Amino acid sequence: MIKNTLFLDALKGKEVQRPPVWMMRQAGRFLPEFRAMRDQYDFFTRCQTPELAAEITLMPIQRFPLDAAILFSDILVIPQAMGMPFEMKESVGPFLANPIASKEDVDRLQNAPVEESLDYVFKAISITKELLKNEIPLIGFAGSPWTIFCYAVEGKGSKTFDRAKAFAFKNTELAHILLQKITDYTIEYLLKKVEYGVDAVQIFDSWGGLLSPKDYEEFSWKYINQIVEALAEKAPVIVFGKGCWFALDAMSKSKASALGVDWTITPQKAREFSGGRITLQGNFDPAKLLLSPQKIYDEAQQMVREFGVRNYIANLGHGILPNIPLENAASFVKAIVEYKA
């Protein structure tokens, strides 16, 4: 039995004394011990070596009193397993030399059983669960099908993903075939993660906010909801769509247990748009972690006051930035842990 159930209680809508707290991308780049390891091993070596992934997962847990751990991995392990050889290039980020551009490219994608192609992820879960000693829950995650689609077609990161959007609009039938393939593989992957012991899963829709509400329904939410439907009876599902405040109403009527929100919407509007039906997670602007520790503490506590303690998980509105001082991250966590209504 997990000793600290605060995170899972919040996902179930139970009454809690304070909200749980964790930070997106907490297992990684702002920690000096992570940077030291980065000098020894490249990014995907760290992802694909179970012992290293487990060690990185525990790094923030050993520093801060967080209420959940999130497995160190990357959303691109799924397209890699499907036959898209993504690499992480210096000063470029995710890079695919031959992006998806035709029906032949889509037809060539592989569908090997996830337990074979992504066995290193499941081994990392087993090691991490053992190291956590049932102290706190472990979160597994995947990218949304639309977000994976964006990288697969664009071939690299982008502020606008014009190439990916144009592909979806011009080659709609083929786009849906690709999105469905990614969705099916993601479902298989997340179900296997739950089988190996993760206590909840989060879907990151990093680029859904680039779509209009109508296009979001067609190219993103429809596929996310398939994942939610497949997972909801097995484990709590959190859906985080950056810039997707316009979809909160539809999302809140799904079987998701919680919705992540970014800093572009107020807590009051987030509650209003989600109808008070569901637990919300977020939405501290990561750049505000560059303020003074006292200011961070005050603003984080104000965030909790505005969201309310119940049906709420304190978090950032996106991943923690690599240049955040440790004492500032500590101040954010401390503000939540010490919160009293």
Residue 29 labeled ligand binder:
yes
Active-site residue (options: 25, 63, 163, 277)? 25
- The answer to whether the annotation marks 108 as part of a ligand binding site is no
39 has catalytic annotation: no
- Residue 25 in marked binding region: yes
Catalytic residue among 46, 67, 151, 271: 151
Indicate if 74 belongs to the active site. yes
**205 belongs to an annotated ligand binding site:** no
List 29, 63, 163, 277, catalytic entry: 29
Task: Report the alpha-carbon distance of residue 141 to residue 299 in Å, rounded.
Answer: 28
Q: Which of 74, 199, 205, 262 is catalytic?
A: 74
**Nearest residue to 154 (alpha-carbon basis) of 143, 145, 162:** 162
Long-range contacts of 248-257 (CB under 8 A, 24+ apart): 248/273, 248/274, 249/273, 249/274, 249/275, 250/217, 250/221, 251/221, 251/278, 252/277, 252/278, 253/277, 254/225, 254/228, 254/229, 255/228, 255/229, 256/228, 256/232, 257/11, 257/12, 257/200, 257/232
Q: Is 44 annotated as a binding residue?
A: yes
Does residue 38 have an active-site annotation? yes
Q: Which residues of 284-317 are buried (b: 16+ CB within 10 A; e: fewer)?
A: bbbebbebebeebbebbbebbeebebebbbbbbb
Exactly one of 9, 38, 120, 277 is catalytic; which is it? Answer: 38
Check the annotation: does 26 bind a ligand.
yes
Active site residue 29: yes
- In the annotation, is 35 catalytic? no
Nearest partner of 315 among 78, 7, 55, 39, judged by Cα? 7
Q: How far apart are CA 110 and CA 185, in angstroms?
A: 10
Q: Are 19 and 313 in contact (CB under 8 A)?
A: yes
- Backbone dihedral angles phi then psi of residue 55, each to the nearest 5 degrees: -60, -45
Residue 97 is labelled as binding a ligand? no
13 labelled binding-site residue: no
> Residues annotated as binding site for substrate?
25-29, 44, 74, 151, 206, 318
Known binding-site residue numbers: 25-29, 44, 74, 151, 206, 318
Catalytic residues: 25, 29, 38, 74, 151
